[in-house]
Every structure is written in structure tokens, then in C-alpha cells.
Structure 1
Amino acid sequence: MTKHMTDKYHNYSSFYFILKTLISVVFWMFTLIIFSNTTTTDNNVRFTPIIPTIYIHGYGGVFNSTEHMIQAAEKSGAAKKTLIARVAADGKVSYSGTWDFTQKNPIIQVLFENNTAEIPAEAKWLNTIVEHLKSAYAISEFNLVSHSMGGPVTLYWALHERTSSSPTLKKFVPIAGPFDGVIYIDDSPNTNSLASNGKPKIQDDAYRRYYQYRMRFPSETHILNIYGNLEDGTNSDSLVTNVSAQSLAYLLKKHVASYQELMIKGASAQHSQLHNNSEVNRAVIKFLWNR
């Protein structure tokens, strides 16, 4: 090999060595960027989890029953609505919107066409949606925000519809949940009371069944129970007494990962105003996404 050819060979070798080094550096920089916000599972597989939050309305609820809360979450930059799940009267679910695999905290807004259905029926429909999220998008955990009867619906789902293979309910925020009666139906202001251990003095049939099956509720769940007090002497939000809302603690407080309560006071704590309340919005956003 001549000196000219030798020099040319070395030049090419140096060029390819530098190119290979640059490619390697770029590759590892790209890898670090991709996994900079990941979590590590027990088997050391790293991934960025997608944790959706389901919003469900209460008895007689409509689009606006949860829309203001969803808009507040979007405005905060913490989450974004990606799907609306519409449940027909026969239980069939149709979806509108586009699932975004780059959105870490997607929101699914649930609308029941039969918005006065019984709790077991709505719990079954909720399960259909949860299972769809699992099969279609490989979701392993989710959060849920409910208003009014949506709270007992979620509780019933957890106790009777959820299975060992269901996605984990990571965080649960019931707002104005009537867990032990509703005013004008089977409760009245200042009639019931809580013992020092949180046990309600008067328990309706549904509450006694909840208690019977309470240990089925997922122990991994973190709960923020929000309820309203008009401070008008009724100790209620006009429809749900504080005792009824707080009775959830006796069922689950010692069983779940964490349990906390937030009382909203004043005129804006009225039952139907709680899902339009800025204090509620801030508390929900902080609890779910630490924003």
C-alpha cells in the first residue's frame, strides 16, 4: 500500500470513527430525553404511564355538570379532555374525540343518556368504560371525579363490578356524595349524627350493604371527599347532609391508602354549585395532579 493510499485510509477511518461517535452521542441524548419523565416498575421496565381521569355526573346530570370542572383542569395545564363517552339508555357506549398517546393525563367525560338510572345500572355502565380503556389503550390505573350520585355509583362499581384484573382506581374525588341518604327522600337536616369513630347513628339499607362489602374497595386508592355546608343551620348543601357525605369515612378511611375531607362553606357550597366552585376546582387539580 502506498503512502498516499495509507493516508487516505487513515482519513476515512478517522471520519467514520467521528461519525460513529456523533451518532452514539445523539442516540443517548435522545434516549435520555424520552425517559426523563418515566417511572420504573418492579421488573425494571421503564415507561411513561398514561393515567386518565373519568368525570361522571350525578342524578339528572347533564354536560355542564362536569364541564366546568374539566375546563378548569385544562386551563391549569394539568390535563386535557380527549374523549366523551356517551352511554345510551340500553347501556351501549359511543365515544367521540381522539385518544392522544402523548397526553399523560387525558380526561374522559361520561354522559348518561338515562341520567336517572339506578346506581347498579350506572355502575355496570361505568365498568364498560373502564374495561374499554384497558383493552383499547392498555390503561392500568385511572382517577375518577364524581358529583352527587356519581359517588355512590363509583363506590358500587368498586364493591360489585370491579375484578382483580380491572385497572386500579388510583385517586377518587367524590363531590357532594350522598352515601347515607338524601334530603327529602330518606334523610333530613340535623337528624343523623356521627359517633366518635365516624359511624353514622342512622344507616339506610344501601349504607349497610356498602359496609358489608367495604373490604372489596381497592386498598391502593387515595380519596379526597368534598362536601358542602351552606352554614344556614341545616349542616348540608341543601340536598346532602354533611353526615351523609362524611359517612364514607367509616366505610373506607382505615382501608384505603389515604383519606381526607374538604368542607366547602357558604352560599357557593350549594349542591348544584359545588361543580362550578373555584375552591373545589383548585382542590381537585392539586389532589389529582399536584398543580
Structure 2
Amino acid sequence: MRKTFLFTFMVALLSIVSLGCQSQSERSAGSINEGRSSIESKTPSTSEAAISSSESTDPLTTNQTTVPTLFIHGYEGTKGTFDGMLSRLEVSGLGEKALTVTVQPDGSVSETGSWQDQAINPLIQVLFADNKNNEWNQADWIKAVLSYLKETYQIDEVNLVGHSMGGVSSFRYLVTYGNDDSLPTVDKFIAIGAPFNDFVTGNETQTLDALSQDGPSVISERYGDFSAAIQQYPSSTKMLNIVGDLQDGSEGDGTVPVRSGLAIGYLMQTNGLDYHDEEITGAQAHHSQLHENIKVDKLVAEFLWSN
């Protein structure tokens, strides 16, 4: 178990609405439709999210690195998906927003913002211009972003954080390109509400212990792909898997079943890979609220930058 520490977020009057990647799930060509009627959240202003000066004096101890962390939205996601989390991390002094990188369907990359070589825990938001495409193309677009960062800024190491399909696409990137020496090394990977076993039925009665020990009883085509490719996952990349459970009897976050999210743990652990998972429970564990949950903020910051 990794060493934990405390830190405090004070978020006053934060208005949370249903965000970009929300509503019922449906699949199209292997894609996750997270939001047929998605609504972006209001990004908290500095005054709403700021920690008062009396409480902001060295609120926690973190490693200060120049390794950038890329935040990747899910199906139908937009900049609103991670705007809130990035703002909270930045206002709390845990990281510095550096770039917003947009990838076109042809793999061309554009950016806004300013990259500083000595930025402390730099944060990069990744946007897909075609935000309804499949995970295979998104994996290629993640590769395009990493290639761009290496060629443009000589970045050799990154972290990845992906929500929902962004987590699935990031994992597919890792088992496809994660050992390519021409690309930056991925040090840490965080998946948030990612349906690694898609939305297959038949696993509802399987206990979580059995899932961890034996893998899912029923596997999806996606999971079969990951099972076949897991040995290509880079052995040095540490993974944190965050899942949500509303505790309303559905055993999921309203979109992704807990068992689908946790299924990847069997592949990671049986192959001796560095893996840890955390479950967020209650009303704020809804799929579209996971990236607005300050408990998730804490887990993300601890995993990325804890001493």
C-alpha cells in the first residue's frame, strides 16, 4: 500500500452540473456513448475554488517534478470534462496548467497555452476534435500527442489520466505503443470510470473476490483484446483504477458497472504489473461526477505526486 497523506481542498459555492461525458451508455463500433444529452459543467472560478491564504501555507507535501500529466476525456467529452479538476489542482498549488492540445482526425496537433521547461507538475489537457470516434483511433491520437510533445518540447516522460473511454483508449495505447522507444515513457496511468470489459451481461452475480482471482466470467471483445495484448503493457507503468458505485443496487456509477471497471485488475495482477484500484461510493460516484469529486482529486494527486 502506498504511503498516503492528507491535503485539504476548500471549494466554496461550487456549482456542479452534469458534465460532458454523461448519461446512459451505448456502444457504436466499440465506442462508449457516455452522453447523448451531455451538459458541460461550469468551470469554477478562482474565487470559488481558491484556498484562503491562512489555509494554503504548505497544505501538503508533494514531489515537484517537470513530468507532465495528460488528461484525456471520454466519448463526447469536451474541455469541460477536466476543467474543474485541473482548476482545483492548480488553485491548490498541486500543478500548473500548461497546455491544451487538440488532435484532429488526421492526427495533426495544435496547442494553446505556454510550455515552461521548469513548470512544477505541469498539466496538459488533451481534446479530440472528433469526440465520438472509437478507442482504436483515439489510441492513435494519443500517440500523435506524445510524438508531438517529444518532437516539440523534448518531453521524455509523461503521466496519463483518462475518464471513461479516455481510460480505455489510454490502456489500448499502452498495450499497443507503450514500449515504443521513440515515444515518451508513461510513468503513471490513472483510469477513472473506465469500462474495460465493455457492457457485457452475465457477470452480475460474480463476487468481486472471484473477479479478482479468476477474471470475469463473461468477457467482451475489448477485454479479449486486452487479454491477448497484456504482455505488451509496459512493465514500468504504474496503474491506479478508480471506479464508482452509487450504492443504489445497480453496482455501478450509473453508466459503467463496477465489475467492468475492475475486470482489468485480473490481467494486471496475474501478469505481475503495478496495479491498485479504489472505489468511490455514494451519490457523487455518478459517472459524470467522478471527475468533479474531491475524493477523486485527492486520489489523483496522491498517486501522481505523493512522497
Structure 1 counterpart of 2:122: 106
Question: Does the CA-based 8 Å contact 1:199-1:247 persist in structure 2?
Answer: yes
- Give the whole-Å Cα distance in 1 for the aligned partners of 2:249 and 2:196: 21
Structure 1 residues not aligned, in runs of 5+:
1-38, 40-47
Higher relative contact order (CA 8 A, sep 6+): 2
Structure 2 counterpart of 1:128: 144
- Give the whole-Å Cα distance in 1 for the aligned partners of 2:169 and 2:102: 16
Structure 2 counterpart of 1:170: 187
Q: Following TM superposition, by how much is the alpha carbon of 1:89 offset from its aligned partner in structure 2, in angstroms?
A: 3.3
Which stretches of structure 1, 4 residues or longer, exceed 3 Å deviation after superposition? 186-189, 191-194, 254-257
Question: What do you get for the CA RMSD once the two structures are aligned?
Answer: 2.1
Please show how residues 1-291 of structure 1 align to structure 2 within 5 Å.
50-162=66-178, 163-182=180-199, 186-187=200-201, 190=204, 195=210, 197-255=213-271, 258-290=274-306
Aligned residues: 242
- Give the whole-Å Cα distance in 2 for the aligned partners of 1:107 and 1:179: 25
Whichever residue aligns with residue 275 of structure 2, its letter is: Y
Question: Does the CA-based 8 Å contact 2:164-2:194 persist in structure 1?
Answer: yes
Question: Does the CA-based 8 Å contact 2:65-2:121 persist in structure 1?
Answer: no
Question: Does the CA-based 8 Å contact 1:188-1:241 persist in structure 2?
Answer: no
- Give the whole-Å Cα distance in 2 for the aligned partners of 1:166 and 1:256: 24
CA deviation map 1:55-89 (0-9, x unaligned): 00001101110111111211221211111001123
Q: Following TM superposition, by how much is the alpha carbon of 1:91 offset from its aligned partner in structure 2, in angstroms?
A: 2.7
Q: Provide TM-score, normalisation by structure 1.
A: 0.78
Distance change in 2, residues 1:188/1:168 (3 Å): same
Question: Does the CA-based 8 Å contact 1:51-1:105 persist in structure 2?
Answer: yes
Question: Does the CA-based 8 Å contact 2:193-2:287 persist in structure 1?
Answer: yes
Q: Provide TM-score, normalisation by structure 2.
A: 0.74
Whichever residue aligns with residue 165 of structure 1, its letter is: S
Query: Over alpha carbons, which structure has the higher Rg?
Result: 1
Q: Following TM superposition, by how much is the alpha carbon of 1:255 offset from its aligned partner in structure 2, in angstroms?
A: 3.8
- Give the whole-Å Cα distance in 2 for the aligned partners of 1:155 and 1:256: 16
Question: Does the CA-based 8 Å contact 2:241-2:276 persist in structure 1?
Answer: yes
Structure 2 residues not aligned, in runs of 5+:
1-62
Question: Does the CA-based 8 Å contact 2:156-2:185 persist in structure 1?
Answer: yes
Q: Which structure has greater helix proportion?
A: 1
